[in-house]
């Protein structure tokens, strides 16, 4: 089966085309056909397209909205010009969507029908920055391919659906939870779930025996305590703002700051929330960039004080969470890092994990700094009681696999 995986944002559409079916799934032999991203939808869009074995190309096209982007993408896939071994739209057998928020309703991936779509519409208030775009992506596929092509929704929140009450409740009046479902939902669930699954396969252990902490460090960052293969706590909360320091998000802070910043800076609550989401984190502290690679370069080349401060704050917060999740899990077997920063930066891994000898985690310097190895790998010494792993995430693969399972 050829499954198109879509991640629709406000002006971007990320995609991956994956050939998979039950046999390939069982053999872990899925085939990636193409991937790419369409940016600046709404204006002259920029399309970056990679076909497996066919090289990289960049194009521009005037795409007014997500529907036009989906239409362009599907026609390109089926065209001879793409070089993909798909000749017509009929050979796209299903579409899987990343949907950010599934609320308390959606505790696992679902096949999309009218009822699912209307329930998703009803919970837009939970994720007004993300879900409307995800829904537009689903509707666009329906318009272009027709409702006969099955679609599935895979939720960022679903992996955390079984958090225990003491982990998901905030210590505010319980009536707020009852009335408005105010609680920790957690996000990045597909990434944490994928990494935990891959770890289990690598180590050949049963799901029930997986007791690890997964840390996704990309533009967005979150940590997840996993016990018996299930998420028992996670750092993002009611929204993705809580927890670790991120590219532009502040992560944990005193909620009283909202009123104080608003009063002092003459802002309203929405503006302050925006500041905490878009102008804080690495960008806010450094005053330079949200991009970790650039910050590391600034620090190395110019000894920039605030670049260093931003990186230190970032690493410190991750370590603080690792400590608390080790307490939550009463010890763990491994810490697994993933995401653009976690996968690629030996320096950041060293700064986070280096001082964790007390917990029995001993980094192996040669393994950690081996930049040629891009696959899943252990970066701690063999005799380290608490292991450290790098496992590249692959949310798209999990979305494609869930889609295949749901559409049969
Ligand atoms: P993601 O959201 O997973 O794509 O991750 C994006 C983040 O990963 C950005 O902050 C990048 O600067 C960072 N990143 C990617 N490659 C590297 C690298 N080699 N060293 C440090 N940071 C990196």
CATH of the domain at 45: 3.30.420.40
| Residue 290 covered by a domain | yes
| Residue 199 covered by a domain | no
Cα gap 36→44, rounded to integer Å:
17
Q: What is the tally of structural domains in the chain?
A: 2
Q: Which ligand 1 atom sits nearest the alpha carbon of residue 295? A: 12
Cα gap 367→365, rounded to integer Å:
6
Return the pLDDT at 230.
98
| Residue 180 covered by a domain | no
Choose the residue to mutate in 285, 341, 368, 393 for probing ligand 1, maximizing ligand atoms within 8 Å of C-beta. 341
> By alpha-carbon position, which residue is closest to atom 19 of ligand 1?
344
> By alpha-carbon position, which residue is closest to atom 21 of ligand 1?
293
Return the pLDDT at 408.
81
Q: How far is residue 269 from each of residues 58, 176, 238, 257, measured CA to CA in Å? A: 40, 19, 17, 11
Residue that is last in its domain, among 93, 127, 155: 155
| Residue 85 covered by a domain | yes
Residue that is last in its domain, among 118, 134, 155: 155
Query: What are the residue numbers of the active site?
Result: 156
In terms of residue numbers, what domain contains 108?
A: 2-155
Residues 373 and 276 in one domain: yes
Nearest to 393 by CA among 247, 240, 243, 215: 215
Return the pLDDT at 199.
98
Return the pLDDT at 116.
97
Residues 110 and 229 in one domain: no
Distance between Cα 294 and ligand 1 center (Å): 9
Return the pLDDT at 25.
87
Q: Which ligand 1 atom sits nearest the alpha carbon of residue 247? A: 10
Q: Which ligand 1 atom sits nearest the alpha carbon of residue 290? A: 10
| Residue 22 covered by a domain | yes
| Residue 355 covered by a domain | yes
Instruction: Enter the pTM of the model.
Output: 0.96
Return the pLDDT at 319.
98
Q: How far is residue 32 from each of residues 76, 143, 400, measured CA to CA in Å? A: 16, 25, 10
| Residue 358 covered by a domain | yes
Ligand 1 pocket, CB under 6 A: 218-219, 247, 291-293, 296, 339-341, 344-345
| Residue 59 covered by a domain | yes
Strands 94-99 and 151-155: parallel
Give pLDDT < 50 ranges for the chain: none
Nearest to 77 by CA among 38, 104, 22, 39: 38
Distance between Cα 341 and ligand 1 center (Å): 4
Choose the residue to mutate in 244, 292, 311, 342 for probing ligand 1, maximizing ligand atoms within 8 Å of C-beta. 292
Return the pLDDT at 373.
81
């Amino acid at each position: 089966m050829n499954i198109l995986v879509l991640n629709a944002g406000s002006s971007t559409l990320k995609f991956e085309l994956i050939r998979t079916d039950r046999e390939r799934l069982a053999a872990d032999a899925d085939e990636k056909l193409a991937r790419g991203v369409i940016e600046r939808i709404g204006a002259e869009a920029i399309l970056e397209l990679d076909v497996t074995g066919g090289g990289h190309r960049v194009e521009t096209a005037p795409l007014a909205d997500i529907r036009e982007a989906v239409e362009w993408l599907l026609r390109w896939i089926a065209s001879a010009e793409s070089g993909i071994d798909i000749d017509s739209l009929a050979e796209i057998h299903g579409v899987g969507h990343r949907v950010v928020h599934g609320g308390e309703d959606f505790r696992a991936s679902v096949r999309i029908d009218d009822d699912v779509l209307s329930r998703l519409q009803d919970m837009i208030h939970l994720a007004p920055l993300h879900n409307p775009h995800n829904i537009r992506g689903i509707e666009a596929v329906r318009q272009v391919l027709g409702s006969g092509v099955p679609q599935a929704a895979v939720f960022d929140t679903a992996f955390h659906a079984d958090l225990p009450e003491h982990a998901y409740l905030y210590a505010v009046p319980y009536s707020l939870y009852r009335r408005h479902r105010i609680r920790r939902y957690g996000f990045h669930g597909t990434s944490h779930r994928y990494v935990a699954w891959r770890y289990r396969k690598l180590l050949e252990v049963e799901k029930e025996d997986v007791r690890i902490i997964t840390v996704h460090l990309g533009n967005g960052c979150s940590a997840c305590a996993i016990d018996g293969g299930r998420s028992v706590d996670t750092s993002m909360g009611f929204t993705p703002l809580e927890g670790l320091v991120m590219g532009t998000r502040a992560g944990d802070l005193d909620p009283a700051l909202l009123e104080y910043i608003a009063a002092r800076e003459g802002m309203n609550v929405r503006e302050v929330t925006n500041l905490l989401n878009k102008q804080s984190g690495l960008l806010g502290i450094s005053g330079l960039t949200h991009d970790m690679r650039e910050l590391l370069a600034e620090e190395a080349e110019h000894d920039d004080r605030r670049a260093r401060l931003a990186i230190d704050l970032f690493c410190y917060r991750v370590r603080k969470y690792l400590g608390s999740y080790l307490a939550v899990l009463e010890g763990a077997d491994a810490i697994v890092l993933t995401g653009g920063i976690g996968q690629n930066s030996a320096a950041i891994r060293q700064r986070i994990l280096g001082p964790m000898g007390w917990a029995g985690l001993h980094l192996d310097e040669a393994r950690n700094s081996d930049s040629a190895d891009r696959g899943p790998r252990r970066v701690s010494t063999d005799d380290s009681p608490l292991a450290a792993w790098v496992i590249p995430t692959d949310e798209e693969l999990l979305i494609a696999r869930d889609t295949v399972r749901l559409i049969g």
